[in-house]
Amino acid sequence: MVFKRIIFCALLVLLSFSRGEGRAVQLQEKTVVELLAKHYPTIKEVSSLKSLLNKHLLVLSPQDSISTKVIANVFIANKTAEVRDALNRTSSTLFGEALQEVKKLDRPDLELWVATQYGFYLYTYRKYEETFPLFMSCINLLDQIEANKIISPCETYKKLAYFLMTAGDYEKANEYLLKARKYAEPNSSELAAITDNLGANSINRKKIAEAELYFKEALLTATASKDELRYGKALGNIAKIRFEEKNYDTAIELLQRDIAISKKVGNNQNTIYALVMLGKVYLAKENTAAANEALRSAQAYAQSKTYLQSSDYEINSLILEIAQQTGNDRDELMARRRLEQLKKTLAHLDGKDVITKVGWAMEKKNLQLTIEAEKAKREKETLIKIIALIGCCILAVAIVLVVRGFNKKIEEEKNDYDEKLNRLSMDKESSEQKLRANHQTLQSYKTYLGEKNDQIKELEIEMAKIKESSTAYSEKYKDKIEALLQSHLLDNDAWSEFKSTFIQLHPEYYQNLILNFKDLTDSNLRVIFLLKLEMNNTEIARMLGLTLEAVKKAKQRLKVKYGEDYKNLLN
């Protein structure tokens, strides 16, 4: 048994150590990934990134080779896509392998990070349908992971929010952007980007005043972080509000500043966005020539990358509108042909139908998750009810068993009490019969009183047990024991009979007492006679129903009263 306990304790210690070691590994990997992410923007080539990875991943244990490979794959895949500025086989393969390997580790924290990075890679290059299952798995994983264990929480929440904005789940996107904002460093480019997107999402949520406040805050943060591109984007977003307010001149001014900044830093996507927005403003002002010029500039950028074809589609839609207004048949025909070509391509990328489909899938998935959550809740409630019912049954059985056990105990105790009481009564009767049979000699009295003393002693023990007992029958038994105990004491009748026998057997001793100690009381004689029978103080106390102290005091009083003559009392 002791050996088993030692083994059990050892297993607990090993398990605790293993868990502690596992937590330490997770924390170390989280630290390494976040450190690499911090250096990542400064690295321009894949080769330089690999050198950085070799340097920082060395701190991880060789036992963590799978997670080391997963981390390296993700960073290399991202940098490869960034350098090539395109969806590519190398990145897709590396991401796919990383996701496959991380699933073997049972590490939700690392799986969330990998799936988010992979999903955003596909999202960046407009593979929305392929992005959807990855981001949905990320949202589910977030519910399983403690907040302090999320790797790069700011980036994770931000990227998921961007996808949710595209899919049309604006409330969830807002929730994630606010969470991302808590993790962003003050006056950083990341904080500026999150704040700017909070503004864009506020427009989606029809909260225009709130949106403008966010955009103005983003301008201040972008200035503090020296992020020119984010500053330009925030200007473009404010221009969108001015456009909705029909304040076209201000919108044009803001968009022109945005375009100048975007061209300066070489960001084609934002340049396209601002030029398309500028074209819409000119169209609203009925300046078709300026609108056409802005859109043609945007088209040149959009046609340079496959993943910008959705922008090209929007541009051609506006060019078609201008051609119809101006009666330019050639431009109209070309625009229609281009739109037909793009429609087929966008059916697999980020066309309206795809986004709508993803939005529906989101709603369906959310509904499914809600149903599953409700089902799980009801199953849990049912399980709780079943457990409660089983608990009640067990409790009822336990109560019945306890009551039966208690009643059985009472019955056994009652029988035990009755048996003891009968035995003690019989012992008393036996002692009295022996006394009568032996003609009440002094020796027989001595034997009789000795037996009485033993019986009284046993009765006192029984009385002490009864006082500690709480059973109903013990009270009744107490009275019977008390009565039997009293019957054993040397009361007046018993004393008279004993006294007569003693005097008959020791007439000279008694006469000496009467003549020499005339003031002896009956109480004194009881103590003296019992002492004469060689009884000790305890035995005398039992026989007379006195305390030990009372007997000692009675003897002391006799010593004080008769002084030197006290010794003659017992001779």
pLDDT bracket for residue 3 (50, 70, 90): very low
Q: Give the Cα separation of 269 and 304 in Å (integer).
A: 11
Last residue of a domain, one of 488, 504, 526: 488
Domain contains 384? no
Q: What average pLDDT does range 56-67 have in this prediction?
A: 76
Q: Give the Cα separation of 285 and 23 in Å (integer).
A: 62
Q: What is the pLDDT of residue 325?
A: 87
CB neighbour class for 323 (10 Å; exposed up to 12, middle 13-18, buried from 19) = buried
pLDDT bracket for residue 542 (50, 70, 90): confident
Whether residue 451 sits in one domain with residue 550: no
Q: What average pLDDT does range 241-254 have in this prediction?
A: 95
Whether residue 43 sits in one domain with residue 116: yes
Q: Which residue has the higher pLDDT, 66 or 416?
A: 66
Q: Give me the DSSP letters along 401-422.
A: HHHHHHHHHHHHHHHHHHHHHH
Q: Give the Cα separation of 202 and 563 in Å (integer).
A: 114
Domain contains 250? no
Q: Collapse the DSSP code of 276 into the 3-class scheme (helix H, G, I; strand E, B; otherwise coil) and give the result.
A: helix
pLDDT bracket for residue 180 (50, 70, 90): very high
Q: What is the pLDDT of residue 113?
A: 94
Domain contains 394? no
For 62-97, letters b (16+ CB in 10 Å) and e give eebeebbbbbbbbbbbbbbbbeeeebbeebbebbee
Q: What is the pLDDT of residue 233?
A: 95
Whether residue 119 sits in one domain with residue 41: yes
**242 Cβ neighbours under 8 A, 6+ residues apart:** 248, 250, 251, 254
Q: Give me the DSSP letters along 495-560.
A: HHHHHHHHHHH-HHHHHHHHHH-TT--HHHHHHHHHHHTT--HHHHHHHHT--HHHHHHHHHHHHH
Q: What is the pLDDT of residue 532?
A: 79
What is the tens place of the pLDDT at every residue in 70-103? Answer: 999 999 999 999 999 889 999 999 999 999 999 9
Query: Over the chain, what is the mean pLDDT?
Result: 81
Whether residue 461 sits in one domain with residue 474: yes
Domain membership of residue 77 as a residue range: 29-149
Domain contains 533? yes
Torsion angle, CA of 90/95/97/100, rounded to 10 degrees? -160
Using the predicted structure, report yes or no on whether residue 106 has a pLDDT greater than 90: no
Q: What average pLDDT does range 199-212 have in this prediction?
A: 95
* Tokens linked to 444: 């027989």
Q: Give the Cα separation of 521 and 437 in Å (integer).
A: 31
Q: Give the Cα separation of 291 and 187 in Å (integer).
A: 36
Q: Collapse the DSSP code of 349 into the 3-class scheme (helix H, G, I; strand E, B; otherwise coil) and give the result.
A: coil
How many Cα neighbours within 13 Å face the side chain of 314?
17
Q: What average pLDDT does range 182-191 have in this prediction?
A: 94
Q: Collapse the DSSP code of 58 into the 3-class scheme (helix H, G, I; strand E, B; otherwise coil) and give the result.
A: coil
Per cent of the chain over pLDDT 70 is 79
Whether residue 448 sits in one domain with residue 524: no
Helix H, strand E, coil C: the string for 88-145 is CHHHHHHHHHHHHHHCCCCCHHHHHHHHHHHHHHHHHCCCHHHHHHHHHHHHHHHCCC
Whether the pTM exceeds 0.85: the reply is: no
Q: Give the Cα separation of 555 and 42 in Å (integer).
A: 109
Q: What is the pLDDT of residue 513?
A: 82
Give residue 557's Cα distance to chain centre. 77
Q: What average pLDDT does range 558-567 have in this prediction?
A: 79
What is the tens place of the pLDDT at every residue in 318-356? Answer: 888 888 888 888 888 887 888 787 777 656 554 444 445
Whether residue 127 sits in one domain with residue 43: yes
Whether residue 128 sits in one domain with residue 46: yes
Whether residue 481 sits in one domain with residue 503: no
Last residue of a domain, one of 453, 488, 523: 488
Q: Give the Cα separation of 524 and 380 in Å (integer).
A: 83
Q: What is the pLDDT of residue 1?
A: 46
**DSSP-assigned letter for residue 45:** S
Q: What is the pLDDT of residue 7?
A: 44
Closest CA to 505 of 449, 447, 568, 440: 440
Whether residue 508 sits in one domain with residue 444: no
**233 Cβ neighbours under 8 A, 6+ residues apart:** 196, 218, 258, 270
pLDDT bracket for residue 464 (50, 70, 90): confident
**11 Cβ neighbours under 8 A, 6+ residues apart:** none
Last residue of a domain, one of 132, 149, 166: 149
What is the tens place of the pLDDT at every residue in 372-413? Answer: 545 555 667 677 778 878 888 888 888 888 878 777 776 776
Q: What average pLDDT does range 249-276 have in this prediction?
A: 93
Q: What is the pLDDT of residue 6?
A: 44
**260 Cβ neighbours under 8 A, 6+ residues apart:** 232
Q: Give the Cα separation of 340 and 280 in Å (integer).
A: 22
Closest CA to 94 of 74, 121, 111, 114: 74
Give residue 488's Cα distance to chain centre. 69
Whether residue 107 sits in one domain with residue 123: yes
- Indicate the number of domains in the chain: 3
Domain contains 104? yes
Whether residue 501 sits in one domain with residue 484: no
Domain contains 519? yes
Closest CA to 249 of 225, 223, 222, 278: 278
Q: What is the pLDDT of residue 240?
A: 94
Q: What is the pLDDT of residue 459?
A: 73
375 phi, psi to nearest 5 deg? -65, -45
Domain contains 282? no
Q: What is the pLDDT of residue 9?
A: 44
What is the tens place of the pLDDT at every residue in 526-538? Answer: 888 888 777 888 8
What is the tens place of the pLDDT at every residue in 108-156? Answer: 999 999 999 999 999 888 887 788 888 888 988 888 888 899 999 999 9
Q: Give the Cα separation of 156 and 420 in Å (integer).
A: 82
Q: Give the Cα separation of 193 and 198 in Å (integer).
A: 9
Query: Quick one: CA dihedral 193, 195, 201, 206, positive or negative?
Result: negative
Whether residue 143 sits in one domain with residue 72: yes
Q: Give the Cα separation of 301 and 287 in Å (integer).
A: 22
Domain contains 245? no
* Tokens linked to 403: 């009551």
Position 172: which residue type? K
pLDDT bracket for residue 280 (50, 70, 90): very high
Q: What is the pLDDT of residue 352?
A: 47
Considering only CA atoms, give the Rg of the chain: 51
